[in-house]
Structure 1
Amino acid sequence: MKLQQLKYIIEIVNCGSINEAAKRLYITQPSLSNAVKELETEVGIELFIRTPKGITLTVDGAEFLGYARQVVEQAGLLEQRYLNKKPSRQLCSISTQHYAFAVNAFVNLIKQSGADEYEFTLRETRTYEIIEDVKNLRSEIGILYMNPFNRKVIKKLLRENRLDFHPLFTAKPHIFISTQNPLAGRQSVTLDDLQEYPYLSFEQGEFNSFYFSEEILSTVFRKKSIHVSDRATLFNLLIGLNGYTISTGIVSADLNGDNIISVPLQVDDHIQVGWIANHQIRLSHQANAYVNELKHVIQEYGLPLQE
C-alpha cells in the first residue's frame, strides 16, 4: 500500500469519476483503474461500485476512505515539519439546502483558513442530492432540515445510508417577503393572509416528493406557485412579484441586501436544521472548522444551539 494510492482514492471520490480524477492527476485512465484494482487486491476489499452512471463507494470503501484521509493528512504534516514543504492544498466540500447562514459560515471558513492554496466547494442543491453527496463522500457535510412531517422519511433514508443527523437549531417558521410587500408591516401572518400572493419554492427535480421539499407545509394547496432552482432567482421574484417563501427566518443583509425581510408565520410547526455526515468517517480539520463556523454564525443570529 503506497501513499500515492491513497491520494488516488481520495481524488476519485472528490471527482466522482475515475476519468475526471485521471485528468486532474495527469495520468491515464487505465493507469488509475489499475492502481485502484491493485489496492483492492492488496487490502482484500472492493472500494467502489462501478455503474454506467459512475462510481460510488462501497460500505468497506467508505470506511477505508476515512482512514486514507487521516493518513494523507498526517503525512502532509510530517512533510511540513521535517522536509520544510509548504502546506498541502486544503480541500473541503459542503452540500446544503439554500440557507444564507450556511454561506456565511463558508465565507468565514475560507477567511479563517489562512491557506495559500485551497479548493473548497459549496453546493446549494436539492435535498436528495445532499444525502447522495454525503453518502458517496462527494461532500463531507450536508445541511438540511427536519420537521414533524418529513422526519420519519428523512431519518429512514439517513439510517439506510449510514448517515448521522446532528441538530444545530430549531426555528419557528417565517415567510420571506420584499420590504414592498403589503404584508411587510405585519407582526405575523397566517396562511389565509398569503392566499393571493405567489408562493416560491425550490424545485427538487426527479425526487420531487413532498418529503424532500425545502419548505414546510409542502402539501398545502396554493393558487399561485412558482418553482425555482437558485436563491438569487427566488429573491428577485420575491421582489418583482410580491411573492413569498417559507424558511427559518434567518435573513442575511450582507448576502441578500436590505430588500428582503422575514415575518413570523402562525402555524403549529417547527424547523429543525442540522448537519449530516457519514458515521464511519472522521471529519477532516476543515470540515470540523466549518461546523464550528456554523455554530458561531447561528449564535450571532441569536438562536440557541442544540447539541
Structure 2
Amino acid sequence: MDYSQLRFVVEIVETGSISKAASNLFISQPNLSNQIANLEKILGKNIFYRSNRGVTLTSYGVEVYSYAKALVEQYAMVEKKLMTRSNENKIKIASFGSEVINSQFFEICKRYNENNYEFNLCECGVEAAIQKVNMRDCDVALIIYSDFQQNKLGQLLTAQELELKNLFQGQLKIHVSQKYPLSKKSNITRKDLEGLFHVKKAYLFEGMFSLDYELQFLGIPENQKTILANGNKTYNDALHNLPSFAIEIDWKCNKALPSDLNRIPYENKNLPITCGLVKRKNEFLKEELSFFVEKLIDAYG
C-alpha cells in the first residue's frame, strides 16, 4: 500500500466515477482500476461495490476513505508549507498578555528587521503556551504561576523535557478604571467589590493553571456578574464602560507605559506571581530571544 493508492481512493469517491477520477489524475482508467484492485488485495477486503451504475463504498471502504482523506489533506498541507517560499528566520513566542512584553517584543522587530523575517507573539494561557513549545510551534513561552502551582508546573515540564527560568515577580492586585471613584482608594476591601462586574481574561482562568484557587486564597468574593474577555480590547472596554473590576498582576516595571487602569492592593494581602521562561532542554536561545529576555529583565528591574 502506498500514498498514491490512497489518493486514488479519495479521488474516486469525490468524483463518484473511476473514469472521471482517471481523467483528473491523468492516468488511464484500466490502470486506475488495477491500482484499486491491488490495494483491495493487499487489505484483503473490498473498498468499493462495482455495478453498471459505477462504484460505491463498502462499509469497510468508508473507513478506508476517512483515513485516506485525512492523509491526503495532511500531505497537501505539508507540501504547501515546504514548497511555498516562506520566511527563513522566525521568532515565535507564546506569552500571557502584557503591555511591557508587547513593547519589548516590538524592540526585537525593530532590531532584527532584515528581509525575509517573521515575528509571532501568541497570547495564551500557561497550558497552551507550554504545549506550543513542546510541539515546536513556538521557540519559548513566557508563563505566570503562583507558589501554589509550582509543583504541578515542575512535574509537567519534566514530563515534556522542558525547563523553566524564573525572570521576575509581581503581585496580584485589583484592576480598576480611573474613571470610577474606586480607583482613588489605596486599598480595596471585599465590600468595595459588591455589585460590580468581575472582568476576567479567559486564558487566566482555564485549565490546570487557572487562578481560581488564588482568588479564593485572597478572599475575592465569587461573583455571578462575570465577563470573560478573550482579548485585551474587550477586557479594557469592559473595565472602562461598566462598574467593574479585574484581577491583574502588578509588575514593578522600570518602563513607564501610559495607562488609565489602576492596580490597587486587596485588603493588604500579598500573593506573589512569578513570570518564567519555558524552553526546550539542551537548546540554546537564539540571539534574538536572548536580546528579548535581557530587555524584559531590564524593564522589570
The TM tier, using the shorter chain, reads 0.5 to 0.7
Which letter does structure 2 place at the counterpart of 1:234?
Answer: Y
Give unmatched runs, 5+ long, in structure 2.
1-73
Please tell me whether the aligned partners of residues 102 and 294 of structure 1 are also in contact (alpha carbons under 8 angstroms). Answer: yes
Match of 1:176 in 2: 175
The CA deviation string for residues 271-297 of structure 1, in whole angstroms up to 9 with x for no partner, is 111111111322222222221222222
Amino acid at match of 2:274: Q
Residues 223, 112 of structure 1: CA spacing in aligned structure 2 closer, same or farther, 3 A cutoff?
same
Q: Given the alignment of the two structures, is residue 25 of structure 1 paired with residue 26 of structure 2, yes or no?
A: no
User: CA 1:97–1:211 in structure 2 vs 1: closer, same or farther (change >3 Å)?
Assistant: same
Offset of 1:223 from its aligned partner? Answer: 3.7
Specify every segment of 5 or more residues in structure 1 that has no aligned partner in the other structure, as ranges. Answer: 1-16, 28-87, 300-307
- Give the number of equivalent residue pairs: 221
Which runs of structure 2 are paired with 1:6-155 in the superposition (5 Å)?
19-26=76-83, 89-155=88-154
CA RMSD of aligned residues (A): 2.9
Q: Percent identity?
A: 18
C-alpha deviation, 1:128, in angstroms: 1.4
- Give the whole-Å Cα distance in 2 for the aligned partners of 1:140 and 1:169: 20
Which residue in the other structure is 1:273 paired with?
275
Check conservation: 1:133, 1:139, Cα contact below 8 A: yes
* Aligned counterparts of 2:283 and 2:241: Cα–Cα separation in 1: 45
**How far did 1:183 drift?**
1.0
- The question of whether the paired residues in 2 share the 8 Å contact of 1:164 and 1:279 is answered with yes
Which of 293, 296, 300 lines up with 2:295 in the alignment? 293
Distance in 1, matches of 2:130 and 2:187, equals: 33
Return closer, same or farther for 1:235/1:215 CA change in 2, 3 Å cut-off.
Answer: farther
Residues of 2 paired with 1:121 and 1:92: CA distance? 6
- Quote the offset at 1:152 in angstroms: 2.1
Residues 151 and 18 (structure 1), Cα distance of their counterparts in 2 relative to 1, 3 Å cut: farther
Q: Counterpart in 2 of 1:200?
A: 199
Deviation at 1:25, TM superposition (A): 2.6
Normalised TM-score (structure 1): 0.64
CA distance in 1, matches of 2:142, 2:179: 31
The 1:298/1:19 distance shift into structure 2, 3 A limit, reads farther
Instruction: State the structure with more CA Rg.
Output: 2
| Paired position in structure 1 for 2:241 | 240
Q: Deviations over 1:103-144 (max 9, x none)?
A: 111011111224233101000012211010011121111111
What amino acid is the match of 1:281?
A: E
Contact 1:184 1:263 in 2 (8 A): yes
Is the partner of 2:184 in helix, strand or coil?
Answer: coil
Cα distance, 1:19–1:165 mapped onto 2, change above 3 Å:
farther
Q: Distance in 2 between matches of 1:213 and 1:268?
A: 14
Counterpart of 1:139 in 2: which secondary structure? Answer: coil
Alpha-carbon spacing, 1:138–1:210, altered in 2? closer, same or farther (3 Å): closer
What's the secondary structure of 2:180's corresponding residue? coil
Equivalence for 1:185: 184
Partner-residue secondary structure (3-state), 1:248: strand
Question: C-alpha deviations, 1:11-53, integer Å up to 9, x for none?
Answer: xxxxxx76444213327xxxxxxxxxxxxxxxxxxxxxxxxxx
CA shift, 1:89, in A, is: 4.1
1:259 aligns to 2:260 (yes or no): yes
Residue 244 of structure 1, CA deviation: 1.7
User: Relative to structure 1, is the Cα distance of residues 287 and 93 closer, same or farther in structure 2, using a 3 angstrom cutoff?
Assistant: same
Residue identity matched to 1:228: A
Q: Partner letter of residue 249 of structure 1?
A: D
Give me the whole-angstrom Cα distance separating, in 2, the residues matched to 1:280 and 1:163.
9
Q: Quote the offset at 1:194 in angstroms.
A: 1.9
Corresponding letter in the other structure for 1:165 = L
CA distance in 1, matches of 2:236, 2:257: 8
TM superposition shift of 1:264: 2.3
| Residue 211, structure 1, aligned to residue 209, structure 2 | yes
Give yes or no for contact 2:172–2:248 (8 Å, CA) kept in 1: yes
